[in-house]
Homo-oligomer: A and B are copies of this chain.
Amino acid sequence: MLSDLDIARAARLKPIETVAERLGIPPDALHHFGRHIAKLDTAFVREAAKRPQGKLILVTAISPTPAGEGKTTTTVGLGDGLNRIGRSAAICLREPSLGPCFGMKGGAAGGGYAQVVPMEQINLHFTGDFHAITAANNLLAALLDNHIYWGNALGIDPRRVSWRRVLDMNDRALRSLVSSLGGVSNGFPREDGFDITVASEVMAVFCLASDLADLEERLGRIVVAQTRDRKPVTARDLKAAGAMTVLLKDAFQPNLVQTLEGTPAFVHGGPFANIAHGCNSVVATRTALHLADFVVTEAGFGADLGAEKFFDIKCRKAGLEPAAAVLVATVRALKMHGGVPKDQLAAENLPALRKGMANLGRHLANIRKFGVPAVVGVNRFATDTPDELALIQELCRAEFGVDAIVCDHFAQGSAGIEALAHRVAEIAHAAGALDGLGFRPLYADELPLWDKMRLIATEIYGASDIIADQRIRNEFRELQAAGHGGLPICVAKTQYSFSTDPELRGAPSGHVVPIREIRLSAGAGFVVVICGEIMTMPGLPRVPSAEHIGLDENGLVEGLS
């Protein structure tokens, strides 16, 4: 099979006006970025909000393994498949980060015959949204240090500055540094550091804001530091929110591209799935819902993190009602959950597969707790045997009461995913019938923060309890007392296990979840609970892929995938 880049390059893209027309978007609502990328005008986005909404389909996955699952390709394939069977569908994805492109992997725009295009631009600067977010984040940082420099009227404690600068780059040298060195004219030296742009709270704010006014309001609420007597200092105190909003106003317009088969794709925003909620922007999802009958979207990591945050943060806050969920699994990954090492995945192994199904089962049970009907999409690999595929289907039906549908969109495009498309359309139209109640978040807003976290751990992770030092318990109490108790929880933990031990595959039970840290994201509107080491600035590997990326003799990019 051809490489992703070769397939993408061989594709004959439609003019973006033609793609937009499928959704009834008039040409004058488009701000072009070349021939195949456009942003949707703010006035059109506002107007579209008056139309009825289509059905929202979440694509999520079992706990990720090094074997690979294929959440993005399934999202793309399902959108194409729904169009193929005569439904009007659009997809919503996150924008890829530039940093990782030059590190380990190539791009992040799907793969095989299930890609969004033009993949080179999407993987590189795209429409500049992440650069705008970087600039807004760093303007706030510059205004903060500038305020301290010119007299510090707000009384900011330089030891308690929590706001970090960001770059869209994998650069470990910037994780921890001492800034403002070099004498009087450079300010007051303090400990400081950079995160990667996708880890910025500005990114999370951008993805949760409903419109520009809400964006500015949320940016103003961001807490950047504390005073000597521990009072929070916000972006509003620094008069930063207006200029930050100006930097973000064009970026805030949803980006429209297309899949290889011409399905409209909104690729907009891209927050981390650990210290943030890992979903594309609310404004893109909402707009897509007003324009298509079906909107297929995904959420970062496995369903314990991705789907839970999608439901409890994004859907709760944006008033979205997901109609169905697709749980993506692969034979290979399930065998890994059943204990097979990576180098032995090619061989048939029914006992291990049966054992690994426990992971899938737990995720299915979890999704049911939100009242959302689910179907399993088995993303086919060449090494899968007929007996393995049959076993998954049999167990799904017998033990979990759902269908598992084998999909081959990676190799065949929409022709390989028709069956899943039909099933999704069917259950989405019957949504609410699952238990007569329809979608609901896992917990009520009023539940105290500690109890929310405990509920997520016990109900979703299968843990027996959560534990934390007295200091952290006090911080929970302080946030509660400061009026933040009504916020949802955003858990940061390993994506590889239901527990906090990445080596513990399958469906562990009765473990205890230790809480290391708690952080308020007042602008985004959630409380981050950190259960493990969270890396907010990746590094580059020994041989970065940057070394092999370049232009060939025809001026075409090589090495990007």
| A549–B32 touching, CB < 8 Å | no
Q: Within 8 Å CB of A145, what residues of B?
A: 171-173
A146 nearest in chain B by CB position: B540
| 8 Å CB interface, A117-155 against B | 121, 124-125, 128, 131-132, 134-135, 138-139, 141-143, 145-146, 149-150
| B249–A551 touching, CB < 8 Å | yes
User: Which residues of A are interface residues toward B (Cβ below 8 A)?
Assistant: 31-35, 42, 98, 102, 121, 124-125, 128, 131-132, 134-135, 138-139, 141-143, 145-146, 149-150, 165, 167-182, 185-187, 192-193, 212, 216, 239-243, 245-247, 249-250, 539-540, 542, 544, 546-551, 555, 557, 559-560
CB distance from A554 to the nearest CB of B (A): 11
Q: Within 8 Å CB of A42, what residues of B?
A: 555
Q: Within 8 Å CB of A178, what residues of B?
A: 177-178, 181
* Complex: A31 Cα to B426 Cα, angstroms: 42
* Complex: A31 Cα to B121 Cα, angstroms: 13
Known: A33-B33, A546-B243. A142 touches B171 (CB 8 A): yes
Q: Within 8 Å CB of A175, what residues of B?
A: 181-182, 186
| B540–A142 touching, CB < 8 Å | yes
Residue from B131, B139, B182, B547 in contact with A128 in the complex, judged by beta carbons closer than 8 Å? B131
| A173–B150 touching, CB < 8 Å | no
Extra A-B contacts (4), CB below 8 Å, given A173-B180, A246-B549, A246-B557: A131-B135, A139-B169, A142-B170, A175-B186
Number of copies of this chain in the oligomer? 2
| B544–A146 touching, CB < 8 Å | yes
Listed from nearest, the 10 A-B pairs whose CB atoms lie closest are: A242-B550, A176-B182, A131-B131, A32-B32, A145-B173, A243-B546, A142-B171, A239-B547, A128-B128, A243-B549
A-B contact pairs, 29 of them (CB 8 A): A32-B33, A102-B139, A124-B246, A125-B135, A125-B250, A138-B169, A142-B171, A142-B540, A150-B542, A165-B167, A167-B167, A172-B180, A172-B186, A173-B179, A174-B179, A176-B186, A177-B177, A177-B181, A212-B551, A216-B551, A240-B547, A241-B550, A242-B549, A243-B549, A245-B550, A246-B550, A246-B557, A249-B551, A249-B555
* Complex: A33 Cα to B38 Cα, angstroms: 9
* Complex: A551 Cα to B145 Cα, angstroms: 24
* Complex: A98 Cα to B135 Cα, angstroms: 9
Residue from B98, B146, B168, B176 in contact with A172 in the complex, judged by beta carbons closer than 8 Å? B146
| B172–A149 touching, CB < 8 Å | yes
* Complex: A33 Cα to B169 Cα, angstroms: 25
Known: A216-B550, A542-B150. A172 touches B185 (CB 8 A): yes
* Complex: A72 Cα to B181 Cα, angstroms: 36
Known: A132-B125, A542-B150. A187 touches B212 (CB 8 A): no
Q: Within 8 Å CB of A246, what residues of B?
A: 124, 549-551, 557, 560
A187 nearest in chain B by CB position: B173
* Complex: A187 Cα to B175 Cα, angstroms: 10
* Complex: A486 Cα to B557 Cα, angstroms: 34
Q: Within 8 Å CB of A550, what residues of B?
A: 216, 241-243, 245-246
A535 nearest in chain B by CB position: B185
Q: Within 8 Å CB of A547, what residues of B?
A: 239-240, 242-243
* Complex: A245 Cα to B552 Cα, angstroms: 11
A190 nearest in chain B by CB position: B173
CB distance from A532 to the nearest CB of B (A): 16
Q: Within 8 Å CB of A138, what residues of B?
A: 167, 169, 171
Q: Within 8 Å CB of A555, what residues of B?
A: 42, 212, 249
* Complex: A531 Cα to B57 Cα, angstroms: 64
Name the residue in A33, A149, A165 with the highest tally of chain B Cβ atoms < 10 Å from its Cβ. A33
A151 nearest in chain B by CB position: B542
Q: Within 8 Å CB of A32, what residues of B?
A: 32-35
Q: Within 8 Å CB of A165, what residues of B?
A: 167, 174
Q: Within 8 Å CB of A150, what residues of B?
A: 542
* Complex: A542 Cα to B143 Cα, angstroms: 10
CB distance from A97 to the nearest CB of B (A): 12
Q: Within 8 Å CB of A242, what residues of B?
A: 546-551, 559
| B239–A546 touching, CB < 8 Å | yes
Q: Within 8 Å CB of A181, what residues of B?
A: 175-178
Q: Within 8 Å CB of A249, what residues of B?
A: 551, 555, 557
Q: Within 8 Å CB of A193, what residues of B?
A: 182
